[in-house]
Amino acid sequence: MSANLKYLSLGILVFQTTSLVLTMRYSRTLKEDGPRYLSSTAVVIAELLKIIACILLVYKDSKCSLRTLNRVLHDEILNKPMETLKLAIPSGIYTLQNNLLYVALSNLDAATYQWPSDSQESTSKELSAGSQFVGLMAVLIACFSSGFAGVYFEKILKETKQSVWIRNIQLGSFGSIFGLMGVYIYDGELVSKNGFFQGYNKLTWIVVVLQALGGLVIAAVIKYADNILKGFATSLSIILSTLISYFWLQDFVPTSVFFLGAILVIAATFLYGYDPKPAGNPTKA
C-alpha cells in the first residue's frame, strides 16, 4: 500500500508540476486589457485553498464528525504550540519560493525556468538581458531554498506522529500570514487601488488551484517517499515541459547541453530506483 501511494503521488507530482509551469507561464505573459493579476495575492489564495482541502481531509479521517474534527485541530495545533512553530521556517521559505516562481516565469520560458542552462540564448531576441538575469536569479534562489525547506519538512514529517494533513494546515497557516505580509509590503498600493482580485480570470484560478494541489502532493511525496525522489519527479517534468514548450508553445529551442542534461536526469532517476537482485551463491562442484 505504501509503495502504491509513493508512485501514485510521484506521478501526480510530475503532472501537477508540468501543468503548473506551463499554465503559469501562459497566464503571466498573456496580454489582456486591464491590470495583470498580482502574484502575491495568488500565493495567499493557494495557501487558503490548501488549508480548506486539508481540513476537509481531516474531517473525513474523523469519520465526518465536526466534534472530532474540532478536538483534533485543538489538540494537534493549539495545544502543541512548539510543534506548530516548527513549521514557520519551511513555510516562510515555501512562500518565498512560490513568489519567486511567478517572477521567474514572468521573465523566462517554461523550460529554462525549470532548467537554467545555456538554452536561454535561444530566446535572447525576445527577452532582454535584464529580464533573463532577474528570472535566472529567481530560479537559483528558489532552487536553494526549496532544497533546504524540503529536507527540513521531511525531517518534521517523519519524526512526528501527526498526520500529513495536520502538518499542511500548520504550514498553510504560516504561509497565509507570510503571504499577506508580502501583499501589504509589495502590492498594498495596487490592492487598495484595484482590489485584491484584480486581473483574475479562469486561467488565474486554474493556476491557483494547481499551486494549492502542488503543496498537498509534495507533502504526500515527502511523507511516503523522500525529498530526493521528489527532486527526481520534478526533474522528469522538465522533459515534459520542454517537449510541450517546443512543439506547442514554440517558445523554446533545446540545445545539445539541454539534451545532455535530460539524459543525465533520466539515468539518475533509473539508478536511484534500481534494485539489483542479489547474486546467488555459486554451486560447488
Cell 506521478 sits on residue: 11
pLDDT of residue 82 exceeding 70: yes
Specify the DSSP element, H or E, that contains 101.
helix 88-107
Q: Determine the average pLDDT of the residues in 104-127.
A: 50
What is the C-alpha separation between 212 and 43, in angstroms, rounded?
9
Residue 30 to residues 25, 131, 232: CA-CA distances in angstroms? Answer: 9, 17, 30
Q: What is the pLDDT of residues 223-271, one digit of tens each?
A: 666 656 666 676 677 777 777 777 776 666 777 877 787 788 777 766 7
Q: What is the pLDDT of residues 153-212, one digit of tens each?
A: 778 877 777 788 888 899 899 999 999 998 998 899 999 999 999 999 999 999 999 988
Identity of residue 10: L
The pLDDT, as a whole number, for residue 273 is 58
What's the mean pLDDT when you consider all of the chain?
77
What pTM did the predictor assign? 0.72
DSSP 183: H
